[in-house]
Amino acid sequence: MDIAVYLNAIIALFVIIDPIGAALIFHSLVPPNDVAHRVKMAAKATVISATLLILFGNFGEPLLHKLGISIDALRISGGILLFYTAFHMITKDIEYTNTSERRDIAVFPMSIPMLAGPGSLTLAILLYSKADESVTQLSITLAILTISVSTLAMMILSRYVKRVIGRTGDDILRRFLGVLLAALAIQFVHDGIVNMSATM
């Protein structure tokens, strides 16, 4: 396993998926006292999102080539999309409304668009596009699985996460991660422009 690639992927995925913020939103969408339902929804959401990220990351680039879209064009468009996401993380407030209704939230909104949304799917393609060896691909896959397991744990323990971090702590963390994501987005745009210019 390539430790540098693994850590880079972990940080990028943590920033955009935000397991703590996802756990707080998850807590507001499921009944607080129905433990079995909470565990079922958390497990289902993380399995679906991890599968989507790995499959889309591995097979998204060949699909783009068939559509005539270069990976550098994706880097630029993906960077813009990630910057848009980061901008909303920094400037937009999220409303948390607790519910007692038992419903299936695993696919929407937890998996799509929260955990495996446009930003994280784009990031998965970009990470795998740089992986030219099986060891590097394995490192990225392990990073996705690590973040998925961390998010699962956060969602299952979301009532305790909410008590510890609170609304103010989540606001501070989300805005800080938004700044990091904005910098990552600009780097993607820069790399895409430089690579496209070099091939002209």
The 3-class secondary structure across the chain, one letter per residue, is CCHHHHHHHHHHHHHHHCHHHHHHHHHHHCCCCCHHHHHHHHHHHHHHHHHHHHHHHHHHHHHHHHCCCCHHHHHHHHHHHHHHHHHHHHHCCCCCCCCCCCCCCHHHHHHHHHHCCHHHHHHHHHHHHCCCCHHHHHHHHHHHHHHHHHHHHHHHCHHHHHHHHHHHHHHHHHHHHHHHHHHHHHHHHHHHHHHHHHHC
Of all residues in the chain, the percent with pLDDT exceeding 70 is 96
Asked if residue 108 has pLDDT above 90, the reply is no
What is the average pLDDT value for the chain, to the nearest integer? 86
96 touches 106 (CB < 8 A): no
Residue 1 pLDDT: 82
Residue 54 has pLDDT above 90, yes or no: yes
| CA–CA gap between residue 168 and residue 154 (Å, rounded) | 18
The answer to whether 69 and 164 are in contact (CB under 8 A) is: no
Which two tokens mark 101?
A: 């209704």
Q: What is the pLDDT of residue 161?
A: 87
How far is it, in rounded angstroms, from Cα 161 to Cα 23?
A: 8
Lowest average pLDDT, out of 13-22, 68-77, 143-152, goes to 68-77
Most confident segment among 20-34, 46-60, 89-103: 46-60
pLDDT confidence of residue 142: 97
pLDDT attached to residue 98: 60
Does 141 have pLDDT greater than 90?
yes
> Taking residues 12-39, what's their average pLDDT?
87
User: Mean of the pLDDT values across residues 155-166?
Assistant: 87
- Predicted pLDDT at 95: 60
**Confidence band for 34, pLDDT divided at 50, 70 and 90:** confident
Residue 94 pLDDT more than 70?
no
Q: What's the angle, vertex CA 3, arms to CA 179 and CA 123, rounded to 5? A: 40
Buried b (16+ CB within 10 A) or exposed e, 40-73: ebbebbbebbbebbbebbbebbeebeeeeeebbe
Task: Place 198 in a pLDDT band, splitting at 50, 70 and 90.
Answer: confident
User: Shortest CA distance to 79 belongs to which of 123, 110, 49, 42?
Assistant: 123
What is the pTM for the complete model shown? 0.78
Rounded to whole angstroms, the Cα distance separating 133 from 136 reads 5
Q: Check whether 46 has a pLDDT greater than 70.
A: yes
Other Cβ atoms less than 10 A from the Cβ of 111: the count is 21
Please determine, for residue 92, whether its predicted confidence score (pLDDT) is greater than 60: yes
